[in-house]
């Protein structure tokens, strides 16, 4: 059962290379480098802990197309890890808010398309009832929320690979602030999962 929180937290999740990139220098949508690490126990357990208290998924359009094109196919898939299937069911059943200036209507169920600044959308969501607002690997959305100091919980998977270039999640000019480490786990292939809460 999903936890309801008194005040909705904004929880962001992103995978980073050891040299600080969320994608390589080529196609930012090519996540092939992530796959050997994303299927480790530590990465799967990390994601399971995040969606358990969330009732809304907030996604950028590109990520929505990728996530909502793939994850529903995991439900009922032979040999699927139960943690993957659990996440897939959560994603299908949850409220989804997709930020897009190009989509006019949603091709997915339980999904609202919004063409407004990210910070405004999150401020509106925080005024509604529900659990955590989970931002799943949508770099543009997470960057906007970090810049607006609207991230309450920052979850990271750090994978032991150098990409040698590409876009970074943390750019100069972010608001100064402290973060408290609330959980950490290391696992197969040197995968590291970290969760930080914003100290306010």
Per-residue pLDDT of 119-147, as tens digits, reads 999 999 999 999 999 999 999 999 999 99
Neighbouring C-beta atoms of residue 122, cutoff 10 Å: 24
In CATH terms, 10-199 corresponds, of 3.90.1010.10, 3.40.1110.10, 3.40.430.10, 3.90.1150.10, to: 3.40.430.10
- pLDDT tens digits for range 172-192: 999 999 999 999 999 888 999
Q: Each residue of 28-53: pLDDT tens digit?
A: 777 788 888 888 899 999 999 999 99
| DSSP-assigned beta bridge partners for residue 198 | 179
Range 47-67 average pLDDT? 92
Where exactly are the structural domains of the chain?
10-199
The confidence band for 6, taking pLDDT boundaries of 50, 70 and 90, is low
pLDDT at 156 over 90: yes
**β-pairing, 192-199 with 153-159?**
antiparallel
Strands of the sheet with 54-60, listed across from one edge: 111-114, 95-99, 54-60, 132-136, 10-17, 153-159, 192-199, 178-186
**4 pLDDT above the threshold of 80:** no
Phi-psi region at 4: left, alpha or beta (left = phi > 0; alpha = psi -120 to 50): beta
């Amino acid at each position: 059962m999903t936890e309801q929180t008194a005040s909705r937290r904004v929880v962001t999740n992103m995978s980073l290379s050891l040299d600080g990139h969320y994608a390589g220098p080529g196609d930012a949508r090519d996540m092939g480098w992530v796959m050997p690490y994303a299927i480790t126990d530590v990465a799967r357990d990390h994601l399971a802990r995040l969606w358990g208290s969330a009732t809304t998924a907030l996604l950028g359009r590109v990520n929505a197309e990728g996530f909502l094109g793939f994850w529903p196919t995991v439900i009922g898939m032979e040999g699927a890890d139960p943690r993957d299937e659990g996440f897939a069911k959560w994603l299908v059943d949850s409220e989804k808010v997709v930020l897009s200036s190009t989509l006019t209507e949603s091709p997915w169920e339980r999904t609202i398309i919004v063409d407004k600044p990210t910070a405004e959308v999150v401020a509106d969501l925080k005024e509604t009832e529900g659990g955590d607002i989970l931002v799943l690997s949508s770099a543009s959305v997470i960057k906007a929320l970090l810049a607006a100091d609207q991230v309450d919980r920052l979850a990271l998977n750090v994978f032991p690979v150098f990409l040698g270039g590409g876009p970074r999640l943390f750019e100069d000019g972010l608001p100064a602030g402290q973060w408290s480490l609330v959980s950490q786990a290391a696992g197969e292939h040197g995968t590291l999962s970290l969760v930080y809460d914003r100290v306010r």
